[in-house]
Amino acid sequence: MFSKTFRAIFAHELTLVVGCFHNGPAEVQFEFDAQELVYVDFERQELVYTVPKHFVLDPSAILGDIGDYNGAKKGKNACAAVVAYCMDMEKNIPEEKDPPETVLYPAEEVQLGVENSLICFVNHFYPPYIKISWTKNGHPVSQGVSLSRYYPNNDQTFHQFSTLTFTPSEGDIYTCTVEHVTLARPETRIWETKFSHHNYGPDVFCGVGLILGLLGVGAGTFLIAKGHYGRTIPQL
């Protein structure tokens, strides 16, 4: 991976990042202060802006000059020579590899019968090629599954998301399994749908009974006191 950085008079950096891999396609993106602004989709031959729309409604109108598809394509074409050179220089040096860290969690608060998403977040792995698979109650699932592209981290590793759209039902068990060259066996994370069924009837009934009992004791005490102090003292 190589990059080119442009610095302004202010403390900001605009960086062109070109990822070259000997076992996969090249990736090109533009970053502003280490945050991705644009990446290049070579299959569709276009720039894809990743600036949130609530910040910029039409990022191409403002950032159009930042991303240049033809320039990005030249960087991609240069990858073959770069990779060949690097592999020749490192023939006897084993490639560093980092195992993935996987977390499985729901996108929103889980409610019975309400559609939600499970996110399998795989982070800090290298090289950037993994396989992610899903199961529901032990059966493979492919419908409702989406997979993001690879995103680079600052430490030269990568992260990736896989999302499964589902409707929670009591007792369902989902798994996300990750395969990577650094793992001796596939790594699986498990998520189970659980709902608490607390019956408030007896508690409410007991609470009302206790309140009524206390009111009864209070009323009785008041009547007794009134009866005691309400007597007329006979005159001697």
What amino acid occupies position 96?
A: E
- The pTM for the full model equals 0.51
Residue 160's φ and ψ, nearest 5 degrees, are -155, 150
Whether 126 and 96 have beta carbons less than 8 Å apart is answered as yes
Domains assigned to the chain: 2-89 (3.10.320.10), 101-192 (2.60.40.10)
Q: Give per-residue pLDDT as tens, 42-67.
A: 777 777 777 665 555 555 555 555 55
Please report the DSSP string for 115-148 in residue order: -EEEEEEEEEEBSS--EEEEEETTEEE-TTEEE-
Identify the top-confidence range among 58-67, 134-143, 192-201.
Answer: 134-143
In which band, very low, low, confident or very high, does the pLDDT at 140 lie, cut at 50, 70 and 90? very high
Percentage of the residues of the chain whose pLDDT score is greater than 70: 63
Q: What pLDDT score does 86 carry?
A: 75
Dmax (CA) for the chain in angstroms is 126
Whether 51 and 65 have beta carbons less than 8 Å apart is answered as no
Q: Cα–Cα distances in Å, from 39 out to 31, 152, 187, 204?
A: 9, 12, 30, 58
Looking at per-residue confidence, does 66 or 121 come out higher? 121
pLDDT above 50 for 214: no
Q: Give per-residue pLDDT as tens, 158-189.
A: 999 999 999 999 989 999 999 999 999 999 99
